[in-house]
């Protein structure tokens, strides 16, 4: 049979899974989740009300650090991307070899968007009347200067928003009083240090419009105990309902033990059952691997993953514990970024779809290791609301799992619009990080 951890009448903890490993595990774990919020309910207004959305634009999206792109999206001077959020637009540009700047994407003359697409430029010139700025935002040219004697050319610079980088990700913050990104991320930097996301590349980028508020979509990925109902094919190999949940200041995480039997499955899958589910092998097909005497699904997956990653990391892979090779470390960086830790390559991002509070855009990035020269980042594949994730071969079996998640989201939004119950109710422990997100959201929404 597969490895089942003896609960002994108590909740299965992540430490139980770590104890299966034979090597000492370097980790940043807390014995208890340090932010046990008392709130068990949240108002549905935050998902359905236009007034909430308008305040969210002013008090959240204009005040928080948010992931805009990867550094490899803008590797050369003049490379730029356009980052849109909640009806607002920002131009993120490499202004010098070691300098990235960001500006509100609007001409100072009549307000026309300066750039509509990603690309490369030698100057920032408005297509409407031809006013131009240098890459650092300094005014360069006014085609009819005699028409603007009232402009102070020295001070007619493009206004800037704050920029920071971490682990190869570029963040912006429109708040002129924003704390440094390093202070905002805090302990997260140490959590990811070993996993070295900076030295990876965007292997795939797929975005999709979802017919729900962005928080409805994001919350579906912030807990895993929904998998027993939504992803039944994954239940034989993951201990759903036994995740460890930790909340910190501006980030939270949950860790899902894998290749062990969790408390939400009523039967004991065999090692072969677990491997079939993990490798997506049908029952009428032979299992393509053979286990040695005494080998378990967990030991088999961890050792094979270790050897696969040895080609990228060399002997540094020996510093990684089995849990980093097998289990799911899923983080949320407030408000809307979800990078995965360990060997997993996924990173999610959730945004309102333009200025529509009842639909959103979900971005899925796979950030992969590489050998030799860094490959160029993959082009974005854009999916409409009715296009399935599984149509994108670059996502592999993840596409099928995402389709199962999306199946719920529109129904959640419709249910929230319909219900007579004024709140949603959170689980006592497994949704602790959802309560963390709403508690932090409320701090921004209620601040002057």
pLDDT tens-digit readout, 191-206:
999 999 999 999 999 9
Distant-in-sequence contacts of 44-49, Cβ < 8 A, 24+ apart: 44/416, 44/419, 44/421, 44/422, 44/423, 44/424, 46/213, 46/215, 46/438, 46/441, 47/213, 47/215, 47/216, 47/413, 47/416, 48/213, 48/357, 48/358, 48/413, 48/416, 48/417, 49/357
Taking 70 as the threshold, does the pLDDT of residue 130 lie above it? yes
Residue 193 lies in a domain: no
Same domain? For 132 and 211 the reply is no
Q: In the prediction, which pLDDT does 264 show?
A: 75
Residues 36 and 72 both lie in one domain: no
Tell me: do 207 and 156 sit in the same domain.
Answer: no
The whole-chain average pLDDT of the chain stands at 89
Dist. CA 87–CA 78, nearest whole Å: 25
Q: Can you say whether the dihedral through the CA atoms of 19, 436, 37, 231 is positive or negative?
A: negative
Q: What is the CATH number of the domain that holds 250?
A: 3.90.380
72 and 44 in one domain? no
| Same domain, residue pair 146 and 84 | yes
Q: Is residue 270 part of a domain?
A: yes
- Residue 258 lies inside a defined structural domain of this protein: yes
Question: Regarding beta strands 124-125 and 169-173, do their DSSP bridges make them parallel or antiparallel, or are they unpaired?
Answer: unpaired
Last residue of a domain, one of 177, 212, 246: 177
20 and 73 share one domain: no
Q: What's residue 349's pLDDT? A: 98
Q: Which two tokens stand for residue 139?
A: 């005014």
Q: Does 218 lie in the same domain as 159?
A: no
Is 249 inside any structural domain?
A: yes
The share of the chain scoring above pLDDT 90, in percent, equals 73
Domain extent, residue 264, equals: 14-48+199-446
Q: Are residues 309 and 274 in the same domain?
A: yes
> Are 230 and 292 found together in one domain?
yes
- Phi-psi label, residue 210: left if phi above 0, alpha if psi -120 to 50, beta otherwise: beta
Co-location of 381 and 250 in the same domain: yes
Question: Last residue of some domain: 145, 177, 209?
Answer: 177
CATH code of 81's domain:
2.102.10.10
d(CA 2, CA 301): 13
Give the model's pLDDT for residue 12: 43
Q: Is residue 4 part of a domain?
A: no
Candidates 414, 338, 335, 306; CA nearest to 59 is 335
What's the helix, strand, coil split of the chain in %, to 5?
30, 25, 45
> Tell me, what DSSP letter sits at residue 385?
T
Beta bridge partners of 360: 210, 352
Burial status of residue 23 (CB atoms within 10 A of its CB: 0-12, 13-18, 19 or more): exposed
Structure confidence by residue, pLDDT tens digits, 27-72: 333 333 333 334 688 899 999 999 999 999 999 999 999 999 999 9
CB 4 within 8 A of CB 399: no
Quick check: 217 pLDDT over 70? yes
The region of weakest confidence among 38-47, 153-162, 219-228 is: 38-47
With a threshold of 0.75, does the pTM exceed it? Answer: yes
**Within-domain flag for 252:** yes
Per the structure block, which two tokens stand in for 318?
Answer: 């020996």
Do 287 and 221 lie in a common domain? Answer: yes
Q: Where are the alpha helices (DSSP H) in 93-213?
A: 181-185, 188-192
> For residue 359, what is the enclosing H or E element?
strand 356-368
SS3 for 402?
helix
Distance CA 18, CA 193 (A): 20
CA distances from 278 to 156, 174, 275, 312 (A): 58, 43, 5, 23
Q: Which two tokens stand for residue 118?
A: 């990603």
Domain count, the chain: 2
Contact (CB, 8 A) for 360 and 366: no
Residue 170 pLDDT greater than 90, yes or no: yes
- How far apart are alpha carbons 315 and 270 in whole angstroms? 32
Judge whether 367 lies within some domain.
Answer: yes
Share of the chain above pLDDT 70, in %: 91
User: DSSP class of residue 405?
Assistant: H
Task: Choose among 38, 51, 36, 49: nearest CA to 422.
Answer: 49
204 shares a domain with 255: yes
9: confidence class by pLDDT, cuts 50, 70, 90: very low
In a domain, 1, yes or no: no
Res. 7 pLDDT band, cuts 50 70 90: very low
User: Contact at 8 Å (CB) between 39 and 439?
Assistant: yes
Q: Residue 333 and residue 172: Cα distance in Å, rounded?
A: 14
Q: For 282-334, how does the pLDDT look when each residue is reduced to its tens digit (9 = 90+)?
A: 777 887 788 788 888 888 889 989 999 999 999 999 999 999 999 999 999 99
């Amino acid at each position: 049979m597969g490895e089942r951890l003896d609960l002994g009448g108590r909740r299965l903890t992540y430490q139980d899974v770590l104890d299966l490993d034979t090597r000492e595990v370097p980790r940043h774990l807390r014995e208890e989740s340090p932010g046990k919020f008392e709130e068990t309910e949240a108002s549905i207004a935050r998902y359905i009300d236009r007034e909430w959305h308008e305040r969210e634009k002013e008090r959240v999206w204009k005040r928080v650090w948010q992931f805009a792109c990867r550094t490899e999206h803008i590797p050369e001077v003049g490379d730029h991307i356009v980052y849109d959020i909640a009806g607002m637009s920002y131009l993120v540009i490499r202004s010098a070899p070691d300098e990235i700047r960001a500006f509100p994407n609007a001409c100072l003359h009549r307000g026309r968007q300066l750039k509509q697409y990603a690309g490369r430029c030698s100057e920032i010139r408005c297509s409407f009347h031809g006013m131009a700025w240098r890459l650092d935002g300094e005014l360069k040219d006014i085609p009819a200067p005699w028409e603007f004697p009232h402009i102070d050319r020295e001070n007619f610079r493009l206004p800037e928003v704050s920029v920071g980088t971490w682990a190869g990700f570029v963040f912006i913050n429109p708040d002129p009083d924003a704390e440094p990104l390093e202070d905002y991320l805090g302990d997260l930097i140490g959590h990811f240090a070993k996993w070295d996301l900076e030295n990876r590349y965007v292997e795939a980028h797929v975005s999709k419009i979802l017919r729900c508020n962005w928080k409805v979509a994001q919350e579906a990925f912030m807990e895993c105990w929904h998998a027993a109902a939504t992803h039944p094919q994954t239940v034989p190999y993951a201990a759903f309902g036994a995740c460890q949940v930790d909340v910190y200041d501006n980030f939270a995480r949950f860790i899902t033990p894998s290749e062990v039997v969790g408390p939400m499955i009523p039967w004991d899958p065999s090692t072969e059952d677990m491997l079939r589910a993990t490798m997506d092998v049908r029952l009428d097909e032979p299992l393509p691997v053979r286990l040695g005497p005494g080998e378990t699904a967990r030991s088999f997956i961890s050792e094979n993953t270790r050897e696969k990653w040895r080609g990228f990391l060399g002997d540094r892979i020996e510093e990684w514990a089995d849990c980093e090779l097998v289990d799911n470390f899923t983080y949320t960086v407030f408000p809307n970024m979800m990078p995965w830790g360990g060997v997993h390559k996924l990173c999610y991002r959730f945004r309102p779809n333009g200025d529509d509070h009842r639909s959103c855009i979900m971005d899925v990035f796979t950030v992969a290791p590489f050998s030799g020269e860094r490959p160029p980042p993959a082009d974005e594949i854009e999916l409409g609301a009715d296009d399935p994730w599984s149509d994108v071969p670059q996502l592999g079996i993840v596409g099928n799992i995402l389709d199962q998640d999306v199946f719920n989201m529109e129904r959640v939004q419709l249910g929230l619009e319909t219900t007579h119950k004024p709140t949603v109710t959170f689980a006592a422990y497994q949704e602790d990080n959802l309560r963390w997100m709403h508690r932090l959201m409320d701090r921004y929404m209620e601040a002057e």
